[in-house]
Structure 1
Amino acid sequence: MTCEGCIKSISNALHAITGINKVDANLKDQLVFVEGTAAPSEIVTAIEGTGRDAILRGSGNTDSSAVCILETHATTVPNQVRGLARMVQVSSNMTLVDLTINGLAPGQYSATVREAGDISRGAESTGGIWEALKDKLTGTDSGKARGLFGTVDVGENGRGSVFMQQPVAIWEMIGRSMVLSKGTEGPFRREDENTLVGVIARSAGVWDNDKMVCSCSGKNVWQERQEQVGRGMA
């Protein structure tokens, strides 16, 4: 952003999204604060639609956000990062999940959270689907596992996105893994380039992440962003 015209352009684009309640832009710090219920991926896409680049610096409150980078473990694939799940807890027992995919074969895929966070052998080593909900009166299995999050349709261009909600808390999922696959139960094959897996980790809340340079790589956030775009992730 270089002027007030940039701020107006971005604000108009964001206010056009359903669920946006408030937009504040800071020209000096190059920051845009967005308040509402729209998917983070929609916000980034809207800003990019004005001809500018954008990086999500945080969402939700401290300890209420998580992220999962989804990769294929197939050794024949050069760009292994194929998906990203951003998660924000909005109440004591409700989490919103913004899932975006790029680079998979067309079709419908299931997103599941698994019991274990071991991805050493890809989806093979993640264990079963996270526990089933129990009926409070009878103690019996309700038939719907907590780890069954939903499905995403991938188009002919290899892209797909979905905005889901699940009655779980962020802290319950940290350290577990997420699998995106054609089937929910497997058996999974490590060399299947269309099965993705990643570990769910905490991410920054709004205003929690003010870093400009990564301590491990020495690159600034914009260099990291361009590197991810080069690997096929938006």
Structure 2
Amino acid sequence: MLMAELVCSPEGDAQTLHLQARIATLMALSGVFSAGGENLQRTLTTLSEAYAQWLEEKEGVLAEEEEILNQLLQAQKGKEKKTLGYEFNRLFVGPQSPTVPPYESVYRHGERLVMQKSTLDVRRWYRSEGLSLAGASKEPDDYIATELEFAAYLLAKALAGFQKNQPGEAELYLKNYNAFYQEHLRIWLPRFVTGLFTQAREPLFHVLGEMILKTVRAVPS
């Protein structure tokens, strides 16, 4: 995980409240992957709550976005913790080669290779903000949890600009978020989600993929 402090005030106008909820959803998505299959019950509860709050604050909520939340809640019912944990590991961890690797470079460079050019590009993004991976992290810089956390970080910096009445700073970070989205997230996450749709045996992970696509999008700047 990145060494970043994400502190958001719970108060604000409609714009800031919506941004807070989106940040919380991105962080919750990040947490699903970083905490691992053994903690799914906890991280999925956090994700459901954050996503529900995002829909509450969002203007023009689509029926399909509400249905994603309903499907997420339903997919958790009646499933043993071990079953979902085993599927999480099969898809993303191993012990054998993960079925749907959660690394950008795999989808950008072919041959299921990690630590490629896109990994270094992502690292440069982190360093441009004075960030680096925590010392205990064993994952490459382009791990999905870390990229989602960085996306949340950029939006949190934008939010801080709005809260400090510094619109120039806020707009800068919204533009940075959109640039990171265009250069990285937009390119590989749809391919990653396609892998979930085709490889996942549990509906929960299909819903998780749909939620990623609905949440990780460009923002007005």
TM-score by length of 2: 0.23
Bigger strand fraction: 1
Q: Which has the higher contact order (CA 8 A, sep 6+)?
A: 2
- Which structure's CA Rg is the greater one? 1
